[in-house]
Amino acid sequence: MLRSADIKQAALEVGFDDCGVARADALTDEEYPLRQWLARGWHAGLGYMERNVEKRMDPRLLVPGAHSVICVVSAYGPPDPGRTDGMAAYAQRREYHEVIKPMLQELRTRLGIDGKVCCDTVPISDKHWAARAGLGWIGRHTLLVTPRWGTWVNLGEIVTTEECSEYSDYSEYSEYSDYCAKCGKCVEACPNHALAPEEPPMMDVRRCTAYYTTHNPRPLPPDLDTRGYTLGCDLCQLACPFSQAARFAR
C-alpha cells in the first residue's frame, strides 16, 4: 500500500505543483451531464467524446483492478500581456503533453508502481478526476478551478491497481459550486454565448472559438466573435476571479 503523503512528496519532487489521490470508483454523478451534453449535440465534431463513455467514466474499465487515480497539476500561468499573436495562454507555452507525460512516467518510476499514464489522449475525464482528488472544482466554464492557480493548469493522472493509505475528500470545495452559481462571470464573458446559463456547467462547443482554432482547425462560422484569438481562447478564464487572483513568478 502506498502512503498518500509519499505520493504527493514524490510528485512535488518531480516538478508538479500539486497532487491528490482519488479512489478509482465510477463517476456516477458526472456521467449524466456528459450524456446530456452529447444528446444535445454540443460536442460538435468531437466524435471521440461519443466513444468509450463508460471507460471515460470508470477507470476500472481502463485499468482492470484499478484502485487509485493519482492526479497531478502543473500550473502554467495567464497569457503573456506582451504577446499580440492571438494565442491563448496554454499555446504560448511548450506543448504540454511533451512536458507532462515524461514527468508522469518519472513519478511512476519513483513510486515503483505499474499504472497507466494519462495525459489528455486517454479516455479519462481529467478535470473530474482532479476534482475528485481534491485539487479544485469544476467552474461554469467547464474547466477545473484550483484555489491557488485558478484555471491556469494542466492535468494528468496515473491509474493504478495500488491501494493508497488515504483518499482525498472531494467535498472540500463543494461550497464553490454555490459560489459559481451566483457568480457567472465566465458565462457573461463569452462573446458567443457558448456556456450554459444554468447548472450543470456545460459548453456548446459549436459556439466556442477554441474548438475552431485548435487541433483540427475548421472554418469559422461567419457570426463567431473570436475577439482576435487565432489559437484557443482565454476569455472565460480571464473573467474568472480565481484565475485573476492567481500569482505566478515570470
Q: Where do contacts with ligand SF4 occur on this chain (CB under 6 A)?
A: 139-141, 145, 179-180, 183-186, 189-190, 192, 194-195, 203, 208-210, 233, 235-236, 239-242
Task: Output the smallest distance, CB 216 to ligand SF4, in A.
Answer: 16
Residue closest to ligand SF4 (Cβ)? 139
C-alpha triplet 206, 209, 214: angle, nearest 5°: 100
Task: Output the smallest distance, CB 33 to ligand SF4, in A.
Answer: 15
Residue 122 or 186 having the CB closest to ligand SF4 = 186
Residue 25 or 33 having the CB closest to ligand SF4 = 33
Task: Output the smallest distance, CB 244 to ligand SF4, in A.
Answer: 9
Q: Could you tell me which of 89, 18, 82 has the C-alpha nearest to residue 244?
A: 89
Residue 15 or 241 having the CB closest to ligand SF4 = 241
Omega of the bond leading into 200 within 30 degrees of 0 (cis): yes
Task: Output the smallest distance, CB 79 to ligand SF4, in A.
Answer: 12
Exposure string (b/e) for 166-187, b if CB count within 10 Å is 16 or more?
ebbebeebeebbeebeebebbb
The answer to whether residue 120 is catalytic is yes
Catalytic pick among 120, 126, 178, 225: 120
Task: Output the smallest distance, CB 202 to ligand SF4, in A.
Answer: 10
For 161, 186, 241, the CA distances from 1, given in Å and listed in that order, are: 10, 41, 39
Residue 100 or 190 having the CB closest to ligand SF4 = 190
Q: Which residues are catalytic?
A: 120
